[in-house]
Chains A and B, each alone.
Chain A
Amino acid sequence: MQPILTFLSPELTDRIIAEGFTLLGETGVYIDSPGMQERLAGLGARVDSGSGRVRLPETLVERCLASAPSSFSLYDITGEETHRFGTGTVYYTPGSAALYITDEAGRRRPSTDDYIAYVTLTDTLENLASQSTAFVPADVPETISDSYRLFLSLLYGRKPVVTGTFSRGSLRIMKALQTAVRGSEAQLKLQPLCIFTCCPNTPLRWTEETIDTLVSCAGSLIPMEIISVPMCGLISPVTLTGTLIQHTAENISGIVMAQAVQPGTPLLYGCCAAVHDMRYSTTSMGSVESMMLSCGSAEIGRKLGLPTQAYITVSDAALPDIQAGVESGMGGMLAALTGISNISGPGMLDYLNSFSLEKLVMDNEICGMGLRARAGIQPRDDFPAAPLMAELFREKHLLLSEHTRAFLRDEHYFPGPVIDRRDTAARERDPALWSARARAEIERRRAAYAAPELPAGLRSRLYDLMSREAAANGLDALPVPLQRDWRHLPD
């Protein structure tokens, strides 16, 4: 049996969804885009164009929810399928869009080299199924900082990418990069490579800029994660149920817009819940209540028939310390047991402001444990038990047993070297702290990285596209060389 954790009773789930529908029908949602208002009015929404308030009738909401796919796949840069969302499988993905990187030297703005180190490391982390555009290199003009991250991810990485735009117009180049990888827009529709994040502006508002991205993605069937970002007690109710009602209405309004543009647009029902810590005015995502909200929202998403997403394997800690391990460990495990389809956050610290490679390798091990727990306890060759007991009495151990050899790898997950399970003597011989072990592991993995084999000329095409975009934004040369030999990496 696959374990499943639930925070909401079936009755409460239904009540929250019904109340979300009522909010959308009566209070409505503010949509700052005349084009979208018109489109929704054409589908039966009541629009007050003066205020931008749009009331969505239940019939429209139901229709749009029905046209959103209950499952969809992602494909890596070589075209291999990596994800099947909506099938009960859970996947982990690093956190996205941090402003800073935190390492031994402290917190600083990241560079292109930091980003390449991140992509090449992530490529080797077996428990992270995708990469994300995790942080923002500060050595290129801000105007291209969103597209440049995606470019580097595609240039060096194999895994699909969770990403987003920072400003209007960025989607054009980001779409061009994806299309270049697939060869045509039609092929990109068949084999999605990226997921774009789209957030309502809590409470109950969608800005024109985000709607632009949403319309453009939907038009090309590019998958999106619709992520409401409620903050308990500040811009959403202090009660978890109250916040889930608001979150439901906000998320559904995004789903309605995407499906109104293009029925069948693949979507994840997302959540980035925070608790507003009234003592410090900070947005805690490592709080147990935020995790409960993420899990609750996934239960609601599942009830609506959608694959889900949540920002949950994150930490509020400033450094990758014990707090970071505890918060990410709790979140990563709760998410896996709840069955959240795309679990975001590994690597992320400091209220989503900073990223740490040391934490990323630690989180990779946490994710391994989460995936193991998700697989549950299964009956293998365990009935009847007597023959194995007889073997144990006879041999005094089961190390060489057929049964052990058959099931060891599936039954046991082996974390390490960040999680330390060595014996005392080994620890005395090499008393390296977890952080030193994490750093050594980063080095080892990066040395093992091999760039994916791509069709001839593809990297040059990506390079040309990005170079032109950079030049148009005042940057003559990209701070990354176009490698000739992609089997090896620059330092």
Chain B
Amino acid sequence: MELLDRISAALQQGNDAAVLQYTGNAIEAGIPASDILNRGLIAGMDVIGLKFKNQEIFLPDVLLAARAMNAGMGELKPLLMKAGVKAKGKVVLGTVAGDLHDIGKNLVGIMLKGAGYEVIDLGTDVPAERFIDTAVTEDAPVIGMSALLTTTMPSMRDVTALLAGRGLNTRIKTVVGGAPLSARTAAELGADYYAGDAATAVDIVNTILS
């Protein structure tokens, strides 16, 4: 089996030690870092994403694959930076002010990390300014917000309004999700995108940052 296929296969098995070893072997063999990333790690993660979507595998399998992906990325990151390959992008994530539900938000974070994004997780009960200030200082083009309560859902409007007020809404896009939301309410709250589940959130971030 070719080295890159081995990386992909080991990642799909959630074998982080093997991914680390094969990534090192590939670097030694002089394979370009971007190929190791795209044809090895990301190729494996794509299969995992698809299998999860089709319910062939369960969440723990995705998390193990994501951990293996991170192991490979640790080896690859310095080379990618040297080669001028841009990082996939940053997402600022949090549960809105007044809301302490974080399970769904955490799953979104896990899936985004698994897809290769850097996630800055602000936790729960996050005020509007903090979302925006962090996105600006971290140069993150996406803010992801979660809300589970009808009482806290309107806080999302504070963020979208503040972004527009500061003229940042073309540069920073908002993705929202959580049980009380729908595509319609998300639009009413001024959000750019609505995701019904974690996998869709990843698809949307892929679209925004492609």
Contacts and interface: CB of A to CB of B under 8 A. Distances in A.
Contacts of A143: 151
Contacts of B198: 281
Contacts of A112: none
A145 B150 contact: yes
Nearest to B179: A353
A445 to B, nearest CB: 28
Nearest to B155: A142
A279 B150 contact: no
Contacts of B207: none
A459 B12 CA distance: 64
Interface string A264-302: 000000000000101111010000000000000000000
B150 A280 contact: no
B58 A279 contact: yes
Contact of B59 (A138, A201, A235, A281): A281
A201 B123 CA distance: 14
B55 A279 contact: yes
A404 interface: no
A278 B98 contact: no
Given A145-B151, A281-B59, A234 B103 contact: yes
Central interface residue in A145, A146, A209, A278, by most chain B CB within 10 Å: A278
Contacts of A136: 150
Interface string A124-150: 000000000000101000110110000
A375 interface: no
B60 A278 contact: yes
Interface in B55-78: 55, 58-60
A207 interface: yes
Q: How large is the interface on B (under 10, 10 to 19, 20 to 34, 35 or more residues)?
A: 10 to 19
Nearest to A207: B100
Contacts of B60: 278
Interface string A341-376: 000000000000100000000000000000000000
Interface in A181-218: 201, 207, 209
A142 B150 contact: yes
A167 B153 CA distance: 13
Contacts of A276: 59
B154 interface: yes
A278 B58 contact: yes
A166 B59 contact: no
B149 interface: yes
B202 to A, nearest CB: 13
Contact of A99 (B103, B107, B150): B150
Given A142-B154, A281-B59, A166 B103 contact: no
A138 B107 contact: no
B180 interface: yes
B181 to A, nearest CB: 10
B197 interface: yes
A99 B180 contact: yes
B59 A167 contact: no
Contacts of B151: 142-143, 145-146, 166-167
Contacts of B59: 276, 278, 281
Which of A99, A138, A276, A281 has the largest count of B CB atoms less than 10 A from its CB?
A281
Contacts of B152: 142
Nearest to A282: B197
B197 A281 contact: yes
A99 B100 CA distance: 17
Contacts of B58: 278-279
Interface string B166-210: 000000000000011000000000000000011000000000000
A428 B100 CA distance: 53
A231 B100 contact: no
- Which has the most chain A C-beta neighbours within 10 Å: B59, B150, B179, B180? B150
A231 B58 CA distance: 16
Interface string A40-57: 000000000000000000
A281 B179 contact: no
A281 B198 CA distance: 9
B179 A201 contact: no
Given A167-B98, A278-B59, A281-B198, A138 B150 contact: yes
A231 B103 CA distance: 10
Nearest to B56: A279
Interface in B79-131: 98, 100, 103, 107
Contact of A281 (B98, B107, B153): B107
B65 to A, nearest CB: 14
Nearest to A235: B103
A201 to B, nearest CB: 6
13 contacts: A99-B179, A99-B180, A136-B150, A143-B151, A145-B151, A166-B149, A166-B151, A201-B100, A207-B100, A234-B103, A278-B58, A280-B55, A353-B179
